[in-house]
Structure 1
Protein backbone atom coordinates (compact mmCIF):
# COMPACT_ATOMS: atom_id res chain seq x y z
CA UNK A 1 0.00 0.00 0.00
CA UNK A 2 1.32 3.43 -0.94
CA UNK A 3 1.62 5.92 1.93
CA UNK A 4 3.00 9.39 2.41
CA UNK A 5 6.37 9.55 4.14
CA UNK A 6 7.94 12.73 5.46
CA UNK A 7 9.33 15.87 3.81
CA UNK A 8 12.92 15.84 2.57
CA UNK A 9 14.95 19.04 2.30
CA UNK A 10 17.94 19.25 -0.04
CA UNK A 11 20.98 20.87 1.55
CA UNK A 12 24.60 21.56 0.62
CA UNK A 13 26.02 21.33 4.16
CA UNK A 14 24.46 18.34 5.87
CA UNK A 15 25.89 18.90 9.35
CA UNK A 16 24.93 22.60 9.37
CA UNK A 17 21.41 21.63 8.31
CA UNK A 18 21.20 18.99 11.07
CA UNK A 19 22.22 21.62 13.65
CA UNK A 20 19.73 24.19 12.32
CA UNK A 21 16.67 21.94 11.98
CA UNK A 22 17.20 20.02 15.23
CA UNK A 23 17.50 23.31 17.14
CA UNK A 24 14.71 25.02 15.19
CA UNK A 25 12.14 22.27 15.70
CA UNK A 26 13.43 20.34 18.72
CA UNK A 27 14.06 17.26 16.58
CA UNK A 28 16.58 14.47 17.14
CA UNK A 29 19.07 13.29 14.51
CA UNK A 30 18.99 9.50 14.30
CA UNK A 31 21.39 6.87 13.02
CA UNK A 32 18.67 5.34 10.85
CA UNK A 33 19.77 5.49 7.20
CA UNK A 34 22.56 7.93 8.21
CA UNK A 35 25.26 8.42 5.58
CA UNK A 36 27.45 11.14 4.11
CA UNK A 37 24.45 12.27 2.06
CA UNK A 38 21.45 11.61 4.32
CA UNK A 39 20.18 12.24 7.87
CA UNK A 40 16.81 11.40 9.35
CA UNK A 41 15.38 13.75 11.99
CA UNK A 42 12.75 12.39 14.37
CA UNK A 43 10.35 13.83 16.91
CA UNK A 44 11.78 13.36 20.44
CA UNK A 45 9.03 10.87 21.29
CA UNK A 46 9.62 8.89 18.10
CA UNK A 47 8.42 9.09 14.54
CA UNK A 48 10.11 10.57 11.52
CA UNK A 49 9.71 14.31 11.03
CA UNK A 50 12.16 15.44 8.35
CA UNK A 51 14.80 14.06 6.02
CA UNK A 52 17.91 15.98 5.01
CA UNK A 53 19.63 14.98 1.79
CA UNK A 54 22.81 16.42 0.31
CA UNK A 55 22.02 18.21 -2.93
CA UNK A 56 24.14 20.05 -5.47
CA UNK A 57 21.20 21.94 -6.97
CA UNK A 58 20.46 25.47 -5.73
CA UNK A 59 17.31 26.19 -3.71
CA UNK A 60 14.27 27.29 -5.69
CA UNK A 61 13.60 31.03 -5.39
CA UNK A 62 9.83 30.42 -5.50
CA UNK A 63 9.30 26.82 -4.39
CA UNK A 64 5.89 25.34 -5.04
CA UNK A 65 6.35 23.00 -2.08
CA UNK A 66 7.70 24.30 1.23
CA UNK A 67 7.51 23.84 5.00
CA UNK A 68 5.07 25.80 7.16
CA UNK A 69 6.11 26.18 10.81
CA UNK A 70 3.10 27.01 12.98
CA UNK A 71 2.65 29.28 16.00
CA UNK A 72 -0.52 30.36 17.81
CA UNK A 73 -0.03 34.13 18.23
CA UNK A 74 1.63 37.14 16.61
CA UNK A 75 3.90 37.54 19.65
CA UNK A 76 5.01 33.92 19.35
CA UNK A 77 5.59 34.41 15.62
CA UNK A 78 7.86 37.39 16.30
CA UNK A 79 9.78 35.52 19.05
CA UNK A 80 10.24 32.40 16.91
CA UNK A 81 11.40 34.39 13.88
CA UNK A 82 14.04 36.12 16.02
CA UNK A 83 15.15 32.73 17.40
CA UNK A 84 15.32 31.16 13.94
CA UNK A 85 17.41 34.07 12.64
CA UNK A 86 19.83 33.60 15.56
CA UNK A 87 20.10 29.93 14.53
CA UNK A 88 21.02 30.92 10.97
CA UNK A 89 17.75 31.57 9.13
CA UNK A 90 17.56 34.59 6.86
CA UNK A 91 14.81 37.17 6.30
CA UNK A 92 13.79 37.29 2.64
CA UNK A 93 12.29 40.00 0.52
CA UNK A 94 8.96 38.54 -0.63
CA UNK A 95 6.85 40.47 -3.12
CA UNK A 96 3.85 38.11 -2.96
CA UNK A 97 2.53 38.80 0.53
CA UNK A 98 -1.25 39.27 0.66
CA UNK A 99 -2.60 42.52 2.20
CA UNK A 100 -2.79 41.06 5.73
CA UNK A 101 -0.39 38.10 5.76
CA UNK A 102 -0.56 35.39 8.41
CA UNK A 103 2.94 34.21 7.45
CA UNK A 104 6.53 35.43 7.16
CA UNK A 105 8.90 33.90 4.61
CA UNK A 106 12.39 32.95 5.80
CA UNK A 107 15.19 30.80 4.40
CA UNK A 108 17.24 28.16 6.21
CA UNK A 109 21.07 28.42 6.10
CA UNK A 110 21.04 26.65 2.71
CA UNK A 111 18.54 29.13 1.25
CA UNK A 112 15.49 26.81 1.34
CA UNK A 113 12.36 28.91 1.82
CA UNK A 114 9.89 28.19 4.61
CA UNK A 115 7.09 30.10 6.34
CA UNK A 116 6.34 30.89 9.96
CA UNK A 117 2.54 31.01 10.13
CA UNK A 118 0.55 32.78 12.86
CA UNK A 119 -2.59 30.66 13.19
CA UNK A 120 -4.43 33.49 15.00
CA UNK A 121 -4.40 35.42 11.71
CA UNK A 122 -5.21 32.50 9.42
CA UNK A 123 -8.43 32.77 7.43
CA UNK A 124 -11.36 31.09 9.12
CA UNK A 125 -12.35 29.28 5.95
CA UNK A 126 -16.00 29.95 6.57
Structure 2
Protein backbone atom coordinates (compact mmCIF):
# COMPACT_ATOMS: atom_id res chain seq x y z
CA UNK A 1 0.00 0.00 0.00
CA UNK A 2 1.24 3.49 -0.85
CA UNK A 3 0.24 6.81 0.68
CA UNK A 4 1.36 10.36 0.01
CA UNK A 5 3.74 11.19 2.83
CA UNK A 6 5.06 14.53 1.70
CA UNK A 7 4.72 16.96 -1.17
CA UNK A 8 8.07 18.62 -1.90
CA UNK A 9 8.26 22.21 -3.10
CA UNK A 10 11.58 23.58 -4.29
CA UNK A 11 12.32 27.14 -3.28
CA UNK A 12 14.96 29.85 -3.19
CA UNK A 13 14.06 31.58 0.09
CA UNK A 14 13.48 28.72 2.52
CA UNK A 15 12.54 30.89 5.51
CA UNK A 16 10.01 32.98 3.59
CA UNK A 17 8.41 29.87 2.10
CA UNK A 18 8.39 28.17 5.52
CA UNK A 19 6.52 31.11 7.05
CA UNK A 20 4.04 31.25 4.14
CA UNK A 21 3.16 27.54 3.93
CA UNK A 22 3.12 27.04 7.72
CA UNK A 23 0.63 29.90 8.09
CA UNK A 24 -1.36 28.99 4.98
CA UNK A 25 -1.92 25.38 6.03
CA UNK A 26 -1.57 25.68 9.83
CA UNK A 27 1.42 23.36 9.70
CA UNK A 28 4.43 23.25 11.99
CA UNK A 29 8.06 22.41 11.20
CA UNK A 30 9.53 19.11 12.27
CA UNK A 31 12.61 19.71 14.38
CA UNK A 32 15.43 20.07 13.74
CA UNK A 33 15.03 22.42 10.78
CA UNK A 34 17.94 22.03 8.37
CA UNK A 35 19.50 25.06 6.66
CA UNK A 36 18.36 23.79 3.24
CA UNK A 37 15.30 21.65 4.04
CA UNK A 38 12.24 21.80 6.26
CA UNK A 39 9.41 19.34 6.64
CA UNK A 40 6.10 20.93 7.60
CA UNK A 41 3.46 18.71 9.16
CA UNK A 42 -0.18 19.29 10.05
CA UNK A 43 -0.73 20.48 13.62
CA UNK A 44 -3.84 18.29 13.67
CA UNK A 45 -1.82 15.24 12.59
CA UNK A 46 -4.10 14.58 9.59
CA UNK A 47 -2.94 15.01 6.01
CA UNK A 48 0.27 14.86 4.01
CA UNK A 49 3.42 16.74 4.95
CA UNK A 50 4.74 19.60 2.84
CA UNK A 51 8.51 19.66 2.51
CA UNK A 52 10.47 22.70 1.37
CA UNK A 53 13.77 22.07 -0.37
CA UNK A 54 16.16 25.00 -0.90
CA UNK A 55 17.08 24.02 -4.43
CA UNK A 56 16.32 26.78 -6.93
CA UNK A 57 14.77 25.42 -10.07
CA UNK A 58 13.42 26.85 -13.29
CA UNK A 59 9.78 27.91 -13.16
CA UNK A 60 7.76 26.38 -16.00
CA UNK A 61 4.27 27.51 -16.94
CA UNK A 62 1.89 25.92 -16.86
CA UNK A 63 3.30 23.85 -13.99
CA UNK A 64 3.28 20.11 -14.37
CA UNK A 65 1.85 19.67 -10.88
CA UNK A 66 0.08 21.91 -8.40
CA UNK A 67 -1.81 21.70 -5.10
CA UNK A 68 -5.60 21.90 -4.86
CA UNK A 69 -6.51 23.33 -1.47
CA UNK A 70 -10.15 22.77 -0.42
CA UNK A 71 -11.88 25.59 1.44
CA UNK A 72 -15.27 25.75 3.16
CA UNK A 73 -15.14 29.55 2.79
CA UNK A 74 -13.25 30.13 -0.45
CA UNK A 75 -13.49 33.93 -0.44
CA UNK A 76 -12.17 34.21 3.14
CA UNK A 77 -9.33 31.77 2.45
CA UNK A 78 -8.27 33.56 -0.76
CA UNK A 79 -8.20 36.86 1.13
CA UNK A 80 -6.23 35.29 4.00
CA UNK A 81 -3.71 33.76 1.60
CA UNK A 82 -3.31 37.12 -0.15
CA UNK A 83 -2.56 38.71 3.24
CA UNK A 84 0.20 36.11 3.69
CA UNK A 85 1.80 37.01 0.35
CA UNK A 86 -0.01 34.84 -2.22
CA UNK A 87 -1.27 36.36 -5.47
CA UNK A 88 -4.24 35.54 -7.68
CA UNK A 89 -3.42 34.34 -11.19
CA UNK A 90 -5.74 35.36 -14.00
CA UNK A 91 -6.32 32.76 -16.72
CA UNK A 92 -8.33 33.61 -19.82
CA UNK A 93 -9.66 30.03 -20.15
CA UNK A 94 -11.10 29.86 -16.62
CA UNK A 95 -14.86 29.29 -16.97
CA UNK A 96 -17.14 31.88 -15.33
CA UNK A 97 -18.67 29.22 -13.06
CA UNK A 98 -15.33 27.69 -12.01
CA UNK A 99 -15.18 26.45 -8.44
CA UNK A 100 -11.47 27.29 -8.15
CA UNK A 101 -9.25 30.35 -7.84
CA UNK A 102 -5.73 30.04 -9.22
CA UNK A 103 -3.06 31.48 -6.94
CA UNK A 104 0.68 31.42 -6.50
CA UNK A 105 2.85 31.53 -3.40
CA UNK A 106 5.49 34.25 -2.83
CA UNK A 107 7.91 32.44 -5.17
CA UNK A 108 5.40 31.81 -7.94
CA UNK A 109 4.50 28.17 -7.17
CA UNK A 110 0.90 27.78 -8.31
CA UNK A 111 -1.98 26.25 -6.42
CA UNK A 112 -5.77 26.38 -6.57
CA UNK A 113 -8.24 27.18 -3.83
CA UNK A 114 -11.30 25.03 -4.45
CA UNK A 115 -14.76 25.95 -3.17
CA UNK A 116 -15.59 22.93 -1.05
CA UNK A 117 -18.48 24.48 0.88
CA UNK A 118 -21.28 22.03 1.45
CA UNK A 119 -24.03 22.58 -1.10
CA UNK A 120 -27.38 23.70 0.25
CA UNK A 121 -30.16 21.16 -0.01
CA UNK A 122 -32.52 21.85 -2.89
Q: C-alpha displacement at 1:120, in angstroms? A: 4.2
Query: 94, 98, 102: which one pairs with 1:97?
Result: 94
Aligned residues of 1:60 and 1:112 also touching (Cα < 8 A):
no
What TM-score results when the alignment is normalised by the length of structure 2?
Answer: 0.84
Aligned residues of 1:59 and 1:110 also touching (Cα < 8 A):
no
Number of equivalenced pairs: 118
What runs of 5+ residues in structure 2 fail to find an aligned partner? Answer: none
Residue 37 of structure 1 corresponds to which residue in structure 2? 36
Query: 93, 103, 106: which one pairs with 2:103?
Result: 106
Structure number with higher helix proportion: 1
What runs of 5+ residues in structure 1 fail to find an aligned partner? Answer: none
What TM-score results when the alignment is normalised by the length of structure 1?
Answer: 0.82
**RMSD of aligned residue pairs (Cα, Å):** 2.2
Q: C-alpha displacement at 1:61, in angstroms? A: 2.0
Distance 2:55 2:93 in 1: 27
